[in-house]
Amino acid sequence: MKIAGNTFLLVEDEPIISFALEDMMMDAGAQTQCASSLDAGLALADSMAFDGAVLDVNLHGRESYPLARKLLGKGSAVVFATGYGVEPLPDDLAQVETVAKPYNMDAITAAFERIEKAGK
C-alpha cells in the first residue's frame, strides 16, 4: 500500500511521537487525522473512512485493539506501533503488522507494503 495519496488515522498518546509521525506521513504525501486516545480514535473511525492506520498499542493504559478491530472490519490496513518490543497479540489480531519504537518512515512504509503484498 502506498502512503502517498491515502488517508491515515494516527493514534498516539505521546505528543512528540505523534507530531513526528504526522510530519513523516504528510511528507510522504499522506492525508492524516490524529487522535491521542482510544475514545478519540474510535470517534474518528466512526465518522471517517481511512485507507490505513498506525496505532500505538498502549494508549494511556488502554489497548488499541478495539480500534484495530473496527478499522480492519471497515477494510483499513492497520499497523501497530509499540515501545514494548514485540508483544503477543490477541489471536484475531495476530496478522496485524507491528513496528517497534523508535521507528522511521522506512519501517512504516515497509509494514504497509507487507500488508499489500499479503493481501490483508
Strand 58-59 relative to strand 62-63: parallel, antiparallel, unpaired?
A: antiparallel
The C-alpha cell that represents 33 in the structure block: 487525522
The single residue listed with the C-alpha cell 522506512 is 106
The answer to whether the beta carbons of residues 58 and 15 sit under 8 Å apart is: no
In this model, does residue 76 exceed pLDDT 80?
yes
Q: How far is CA 34 from the centre of its chain?
A: 10
Residue 101: inside a domain: yes
Residue 42: inside a domain: yes
* Per-residue DSSP letter, 30: -
User: Can you give the residue range of the structural domain that contains 56?
Assistant: 7-118
- Predicted confidence at residue 84, as pLDDT, reads 78
| Total count of domains within the chain | 1
Backbone φ/ψ region at 108: left (φ over 0), alpha (ψ -120 to 50), beta: alpha
CATH of the domain at 33: 3.40.50.2300
Residue 2: inside a domain: no
**39-57 tens-digit pLDDT:** 999 999 999 999 999 999 9
